[in-house]
Amino acid sequence: MFFREVLGQRELKEKIIYLIREGRLPHAINLLGAEGSGNLPLALAIAQYINCKQKLPEDSCGVCSACVKMKKLQHPDVHFSFPTVSLGKQTPPTSKDFIVPFRNFVLQSPYGTATDWLDFLGKEKQGNITALECREIIQKLLLRSFESEYKILIMWYPEYLGKEGNILLKLIEEPTAKTILIFVTESVDNLLLTIQSRTQLFALKRLSDIEIKEGLQALGVDEVKALQCARIAEGNFNEALKLSQNSEDELLLLTKNWLNYLYSNNGLQLVQWIMEMADSTKEHQKKFLAYIIQLLEHALRLKHSGSQQMALLEGELKLVQTLLQKGIDEKVIPQMTGLLNDAIYHIERNANSKILFHHVSLQTQGLLLKQ
């Protein structure tokens, strides 16, 4: 990973590059970033730059043997540690058992989350970084480096360390020579205090809509869709990417059907719609709700400014215009978005989807038909 491939974070990247060039990067750092902010890509860029044999002032060279190996995540002096799941064997799992799928996962989705990773493995969502893993890390880092001056450990989601993490304390306090430990953390709340206090914190910023839009465009997403996804994703590139891969036609169709059934008071079809929605994943349900909220916000803007220059596709613009013609206004819209936001909140807290969508549907219908 190049620094230039890491979205946004300009100041932080400059600071880190400066510290590496001056030989002053602390030996244990904590890259803290919310989901989709890119702390793993940043860790990969740091590791590549430290090992690069022909560093450029602002990035790795990309062509030296170290860069070539890093590109495949196969540099012998860069070790990865990450949550793993039980293999049903007597010995606890370690990252070594999962390194091949892990490389594939990261190459495919460097902005992915631990949940995405566990989904990718297709296992139950019980991730863990085991005590055996911690001991193996210590063993690995005791060895001399193979090719590079530095040995680097990238630990992704140290939040998954239980008390086992304390096995690592001595290593963090008195690291073996020429060793850099990079912790890639999403939330300090779940990180052992003992690790927090022994690492230097580097916090990533929330990505701007423009940075996300540009990131999506670089992956071939067209501009209108990229901007639309960026606006919904609220700084989370991982989310934006998933949204961009989702056909918006599907979300639009779901929304149209739902509203149709509500307006026409078609109870039978509404119930069927609710059952299907309740059967989809929580992520999908949240996406659907966020999508309607976004359409409603557009409706409000359109009503106020009359401007049609918005990040809306043709079908979406038509739907928004129809809603306005039906009399949906600045009184109803905030009530509806309030309802939908509440629903997202409850989905995140594992509410029963069937009951929830039933409730939201009836409440929304009340608002729509009252006008």
Min separation Cβ 20 and Zn ion, Å? 13
Min separation Cβ 108 and Zn ion, Å? 23
Choose one: 57-65, 85-93, 223-231, 258-266; the region binding Zn ion (CB under 5 A).
57-65
Q: Contact with Zn ion (CB under 5 A): which of 44, 52, 293, 312?
A: 52
Amino acid at 186: E
Name the nearest CA neighbour of 30 among 21, 39, 38, 22. Answer: 39
Which CB, 63 or 143, lies closer to Zn ion?
A: 63
State how far the Cα of 75 lies from the Cα of 302, in Å rounded to an integer: 53
State how far the Cα of 161 lies from the Cα of 139, in Å rounded to an integer: 18
Q: Which residues contact 227 (CB under 8 A, 6 or more apart)?
A: 209, 213, 311
Between the CA atoms of 105, 190, 215 and 281, what dihedral angle is there, to the nearest 10 degrees? 70
Choose one: 12-20, 64-72, 78-86, 142-150; the region binding Zn ion (CB under 5 A).
64-72
Q: Is 20 in the site for Zn ion (CB under 5 A)?
A: no
Min separation Cβ 147 and Zn ion, Å? 12
Q: Contact with Zn ion (CB under 5 A): which of 19, 20, 34, 61?
A: 61
Min separation Cβ 59 and Zn ion, Å? 9
Q: Which residues contact 56 (CB under 8 A, 6 or more apart)?
A: none
Name the nearest CA neighbour of 167 among 126, 127, 128, 133. Answer: 133
Min separation Cβ 14 and Zn ion, Å? 19
Choose one: 55-63, 101-109, 199-207, 354-362; the region binding Zn ion (CB under 5 A).
55-63
Choose one: 58-66, 150-158, 241-249, 347-355; the region binding Zn ion (CB under 5 A).
58-66
Total of chain residues touching Zn ion, rule CB under 5 A:
5
Min separation Cβ 23 and Zn ion, Å? 17
Q: List, in sequence order, every residue forming a beta bridge with 71; answer none if it has no partner.
A: none
Min separation Cβ 41 and Zn ion, Å? 17
Q: Residue 7 is encoded by which pair of tokens?
A: 């979205």
Task: Return the SS3 of 31.
Answer: strand
State how far the Cα of 319 lies from the Cα of 310, in Å rounded to an integer: 14
Q: Contact with Zn ion (CB under 5 A): which of 16, 28, 45, 67?
A: 67
- How many Cβ atoms sit within 10 Å of the Cβ of residue 55? 18
The 8-class DSSP code of residue 346 comes to H
In the chain, the N- to C-terminal Cα span, in Å, equals: 54
Q: Contact with Zn ion (CB under 5 A): which of 30, 37, 60, 337?
A: 60
What order do you get walking across the sheet with 179-185 strand by strand?
A: 78-81, 151-156, 179-185, 28-32, 200-203
Choose one: 56-64, 197-205, 212-220, 290-298; the region binding Zn ion (CB under 5 A).
56-64
Angle (CA) 39-44-49 rounded to 5° is: 125
Which CB, 47 or 207, lies closer to Zn ion?
A: 47
Choose one: 7-15, 63-71, 244-252, 282-290; the region binding Zn ion (CB under 5 A).
63-71
Q: Contact with Zn ion (CB under 5 A): which of 19, 20, 64, 121?
A: 64
Residues that bind Zn ion (CB under 5 A): 52, 60-61, 64, 67
